Structure 1
């Protein structure tokens, strides 16, 4: 089992750093899946038990100038490792204005993901900063629990408003209630609503649009004005919104009535799926 990769382009390095920062805000501990053509950051808390789940996918050829890996076997040419996301984010912060970044699997008394940063220097000498990030190698028998989540049959799919605007609204709402109701319909209307014994506050977004081909079987024949809704922990939604480091080219919200909300963000060469379950 081997892995080594290099990023030599400054733009790619900065983009990879932003993605790492985003993952660190969304997950304390995550799984990194390494395959010949993709990297995946995975959070697989059990949605049925109230946990969120995440699937972030990066096309390796869009980031790395060099990429070599050997999985556990020819038939299972993948590597799954568990790491603390903040450790990777901290290591990459030293890579600002670096000439190059190298990442590889090593064993230094314990399994590590070693990050080597080639820093610019005023003199002709090179300065290398190395970070050894402790990891846990995940055995093959546990891989089945770390596969891409299946998007449930949704009632409504809708484009999201500007995420910064949505975050600003939710930040104010969290001071009033611990939960929030997301409502949306097929006419492109989205409501963020909180209700308490003393007050009901709703923020309305209109004309957001419906993604093309966005039609789960549950939405067939549905009244376009009928709202689908899901009641979720306001802090979990705010954590998701606060974690966004770059503006996505597309941001979708799929609602499975009273069960789950699925966010699907498409960035340049990166996709992120995030699931928040309904409160019981």
Structure 2
């Protein structure tokens, strides 16, 4: 099992850093899956038990100038690592404006993902800063626990309003209740609502647009004005919106009525899915 990779382009390094920074704000630990073509950051808390789930996919060719790996076996050319994304984020912060960044799997006092950043220097001697990030290698027999989450047929899919606007609204609402009702319909309308014994507050967005149906979701029989809704933990939603450092080209929300909210961020170099279960 071997892995080594190299980034030479500062723009690619900054983009990768923003993705990792986003992941670090969403979870304390996650699984990094390495394949020949892609990297995946995964969090697979049991949604059925109230936990969130995350799936972030990156095409390695959009970030790395060199990328070599050998999986755990000839018939399983993949590597699964558990790590603390904040450790990776801190290491990448020291590599901003680096001339190059090398990453490889090493064996120190424990398995490590070692990053070596070559920093600019006024002298002819280069400065290299090295970080050893402890990781746990996940055995092959457990890989089935880390597959892409299944997206159930949703009732409504809608494009989100400007994320900063949505975040500002929810930042104000979080002081009123622990829960928020997010509802939307197939006419481009979305409402954010707080309802308690003392107060009722709602914010309305219109003309957001709906992604085209794929035939398997958003059944054609559903009325365009019918609202699908989910009551979610407002802190989990706020955490997700506050984490974003990658400016997505598209941001969508899929609602499974009274069961789940599924957010999708699409970027030219990466995609991020985030699942928040509905509360009773």
Query: Shorter-normalised TM-score: what interval?
Result: over 0.9
Contact 1:155 1:216 in 2 (8 A): no
TM-score normalised by the chain length of structure 2:
0.98
Q: Deviations over 1:53-97 (max 9, x none)?
A: 000000000000000000011211100000001000000000111
Residue 167 of structure 1 and its aligned partner are, at CA, apart by: 0.5
Question: Which residue in 2 is equivalent to 1:130?
Answer: 130
Question: Which residue in 2 is equivalent to 1:102?
Answer: 102
Residue 150 of structure 1 and its aligned partner are, at CA, apart by: 1.2
State whether structure 2 residue 247 is matched by structure 1 residue 247: yes
3-state SS, counterpart of residue 99 of structure 2: strand
Contact 1:157 1:214 in 2 (8 A): no
CA distance in 2, matches of 1:84, 1:50: 22
Question: Which residue in 2 is equivalent to 1:72?
Answer: 72
Question: Which residue in 2 is equivalent to 1:151?
Answer: 151
Contact 2:158 2:210 in 1 (8 A): yes
CA distance in 2, matches of 1:236, 1:109: 36
CA distance in 2, matches of 1:145, 1:220: 34
3-state SS, counterpart of residue 238 of structure 1: helix
State whether structure 2 residue 225 is matched by structure 1 residue 228: no
Question: Which residue in 2 is equivalent to 1:259?
Answer: 259
Contact 1:181 1:193 in 2 (8 A): yes
Contact 2:29 2:83 in 1 (8 A): yes
Question: Which residue in 1 is equivalent to 2:195?
Answer: 195
Query: Number of residue pairs matched?
Result: 280
Question: Which residue in 2 is equivalent to 1:171?
Answer: 171
Question: Which residue in 1 is equivalent to 2:271?
Answer: 271
Question: Which residue in 1 is equivalent to 2:22?
Answer: 22
Coordinate RMSD, CA, aligned: 0.9
CA distance in 2, matches of 1:187, 1:219: 14
For residues 3-82 of structure 1, what are the structure 2 equivalents within 5 Å?
3-82=3-82
Note the residue ranges of structure 2 that are not aligned, 5 or more in a row.
none
TM-score normalised by the chain length of structure 1:
0.98
